[in-house]
Amino acid sequence: MAKLVARDIPGGSYVNLGIGQPTLVADYLPSDKHVVLHTENGMLGMGPQAQGDDIDPDLTNAGKLPVTELPGAAYFHHADSFAMMRGGHLDVCVMGAFQVSTAGDLANWHTGDPDAIPAVGGAMDLAVGAKTVYVMMTLFDKDGTPKLVPKCTYPLTGLACVSRVYTDLAVFRLEDDQVYVTETFGTTVDELASRLRVPVLAGPSPA
């Protein structure tokens, strides 16, 4: 899945990879693609995770893991970092999700469980700020409930922000409230249509 996302990120893009699975996308971005990684805790030009002696507690990513810096990196403070996001300067942001709606609404910060301790971090800022938001998630949760839904039931992160959804079974493009299936993995568009509660169309592959 990370490989497909990496394939679809245009060369020369400025990209933010969310905590968890999205960080794997970095492994599939060849250096000649000139993708520059942003981490919202104040850096552009982030390199791979740090190992051994390269670990510096003052150099971490948004998941608080030690990372490295690449030539051409830049550091900045939190207001500047989020101004960069909110101002629409990032080309792509890749995030996980609990639910995505056909309109592109995103729910990925809270399950609505009243006992859960809420934490939002930078997710809402990324959702409204990046020019395009890609989501990586399993298409169904453990009990088989679809996570691509007509309307999110979990608390929202952002409205109409997701344009592509990468899942274990298919890749979806969301446009004008329509869901296009652009690729399938071991399943068919008809089969997906029968398992999801949203109408899907066989569509063109992402540009």
Partner 1 sequence: MIEVCGDAEAALRDLRDGATVLVGGFGEAGLPFGLLDGLLRCDAAGLTVVSNNAGNGHSGLAAVLATGRVRKIICSYPRQVDSWVFDRLYREGKIELELVPQGNLAERIRAAGAGIGGFYTPTGVGTPLAAGKEVRNIAGRDYILELPIHGDVALIRADTADEAGNLTYRKTARNFGPIMATAAKVTVAEVNRVVPAGAIDPENVVTPGIFVNRVVLAVGTAKAGSARSGSRETTR
* CB crowding 57-73: b at 16 or more within 10 Å, else e: eebbbbbeeebbbeeee
Torsional sign, CA 37, 132, 89, 7: positive
Q: Is 121 exposed, middle or buried (0-12, 13-18, 19+ CB in 10 A)?
A: middle
Give the residue with the Cβ less far from partner 1, 92 or 196. 92
**Which of 48, 120, 141, 145 contacts partner 1 by CB under 8 A?**
120
Q: Does 141 bind partner 1 (CB under 8 A)?
A: no
Cα separation, 6 vs 1, in Å, equals 9
Known catalytic residue at 175 = no
Min dist. Cβ of residue 206 to partner 1 (A): 22
Min dist. Cβ of residue 164 to partner 1 (A): 20
Residues that bind partner 1 (CB under 8 A): 12, 14, 34, 36, 38-45, 55-60, 64, 69, 71-79, 81-90, 105, 110, 117-125, 128-129, 155-159
Q: Which residues are catalytic?
A: 40
